[in-house]
Structure 1
């Protein structure tokens, strides 16, 4: 009997789109290897279907937490990208299937066959649990591109994920706009498909706004400094060496271990507590210190992030092939 791979994922205005894009990355890889893959998303998470369609892929709406389709399935491999899981749900799946879970700090993670937590620090060694940046996945567009630090900053990138639920974009733009205009620095904003605050930027006529771009790696490499949240974007920026300032959306993001000075990031913490003058001060410090930007870029590039997808895929295939 052939093994089907079933992705259960979340993706919405509050939780962002990182889970969606990760499922697309691994579904593509597993499909190429000959596996039949299906993706289910919860009612209300229509952003999943929208993004999947952009990649010419299908996803089906299903209340998978309560569905008999899920309860009655057997001999499949479930890949969960739904954040923290319950023990009851994972045990139900494991009665007749195998379970792999991403970014799962819930009690259900103890029951899974494999857990990948690239964003979080390992508090204790657990069998089949893999933590840290060695297990982050990057899209193919990041494989062969790097940023070269320039003496003069000409472009700044502001990108806060697929939804930017706290509208950190507005916070940053309003903090640095006057300085950038006075110093001939282009402000380049990349919004995701779930960003709902475009009208809030109407007061800043000299900004460049793009949405759903085809090649994010190329766009990142064209900018000298970036502002972002603490999701998957930090790994993308670090993989090509763009000096970056992090503003987090929520407390969970504050626990993401990679968005720290140790790995080359200025982390300003939660947006709701952040003052504009601190944003501007940190930004000016980076703009005016070429040697600091060089040092930060070098720190970022010391991490071999571009091999993470291969590492994770190898672990997934090991679970699939175990009898």
Structure 2
């Protein structure tokens, strides 16, 4: 039996799909199965791909036939894509033993197979629900990296001493530098932990400009380092994608910034659950003032404690393990 994980990523479309697919790769590896982890991405990001144990492979276009030649009747094929069309999904459904489609926002009317959507409140999304489909919906099935499966006690300080800034694997909209400047000018006594992922296009520029004496740059952190940084932070300013679920797992009260249209479901769901403050879309003229208001609102220790506990109760970090177990059962393993 073979397991294929197909996804995409890069400087122009971000790294979130790769991160959650890497968590599935980890879950299968723990069960003694090494998936073929194939990512359609820019060759310039080879070092980032290597760190995620994936192979740069254009499975969607010129190398598609090579992929199909290697499929077997009992193969598990997981697709996490915003680029693949319905025809490609139909070809996978016809050839794979267990076809799996990771979705965020009911992007397609999917063919037969298993649809996975770990988004907050995904149980309420309007899927077609045919008889030849199975659905794994809600945060119970959010795939998080291995380090985030462990539970820990999150200390809630009386005051906000440390703010973490994280905008995914690429900082698609170039938010980090402006937010760091804003924090240095308005919160000079607060420790700033600035995540500069390996695929950041401006990380050298951000470091050159610098912050203040209370600024720490964390370069290309592993999942373990990310978790440790979250545990040390009283508050996070973050894009509204996959990282929000890791922050929820650790229990870090967060201020979200919407950097892509597909993040609206995450924001609406987490607002409904009372976990985040939302500063708005990335280019909103009042973004920084909204961030300031969010910090003020979350300055209360009691408020941060309430939000932290609520988020941790919702996300247990076992989504990738649940998914891999179900898929292997479907494949007869």
TM-score (norm 1): 0.88
What is the total number of aligned residue pairs between the two structures? Answer: 314
C-alpha separation in 2, matches of 1:210 and 1:291: 29
Give, in angstroms, the shift of residue 259 of structure 1: 3.3
Out of 170, 177, 180, the position equivalent to 1:163 is 170
C-alpha separation in 2, matches of 1:266 and 1:130: 27
Say whether the 8 Å CA contact 1:158–1:188 is kept in structure 2.
yes
1:77 corresponds to which residue?
A: 76
Say whether the 8 Å CA contact 1:84–1:106 is kept in structure 2.
no
- 1:27-42 correspondence to structure 2 within 5 Å: 27-42=25-40
2:326 corresponds to which residue?
A: 315
- 1:56-71 correspondence to structure 2 within 5 Å: 57-66=53-62, 67-71=64-68
1:222 and 2:232 are equivalent in the alignment: yes
1:106 and 2:112 are equivalent in the alignment: no
Alignment gaps of 5+ in structure 2: none
1:123 corresponds to which residue?
A: 125
C-alpha separation in 2, matches of 1:301 and 1:191: 25
User: Residues 33-60 of structure 1: CA distance to partner in whole angstroms, max 9, x if unpaired?
Assistant: 343421222252653x4234225x3514
**Consecutive aligned runs of 4 or more in structure 1 exceeding 4 Å deviation:** none
Closer, same or farther: CA 96–255 of 1 in aligned 2, 3 Å: same
User: Residues 2-34 of structure 1: CA distance to partner in whole angstroms, max 9, x if unpaired?
Assistant: x21112110111222122122222223223434
Aligned Cα root-mean-square deviation (Å): 2.3
1:140 corresponds to which residue?
A: 146
Give, in angstroms, the shift of residue 297 of structure 1: 1.5
User: Residues 72-95 of structure 1: CA distance to partner in whole angstroms, max 9, x if unpaired?
Assistant: 333222111223642211111222
TM-score (norm 2): 0.85
1:191 corresponds to which residue?
A: 196
C-alpha separation in 2, matches of 1:58 and 1:42: 10
Alignment gaps of 5+ in structure 1: none
C-alpha separation in 2, matches of 1:110 and 1:30: 24
C-alpha separation in 2, matches of 1:176 and 1:258: 27
Say whether the 8 Å CA contact 2:19–2:145 is kept in structure 1.
no
1:53 and 2:50 are equivalent in the alignment: yes
Say whether the 8 Å CA contact 2:4–2:77 is kept in structure 1.
yes
1:292 and 2:303 are equivalent in the alignment: yes
SS of the residue aligned with 2:11?
coil
Out of 12, 15, 22, the position equivalent to 2:13 is 15
Say whether the 8 Å CA contact 2:141–2:323 is kept in structure 1.
yes
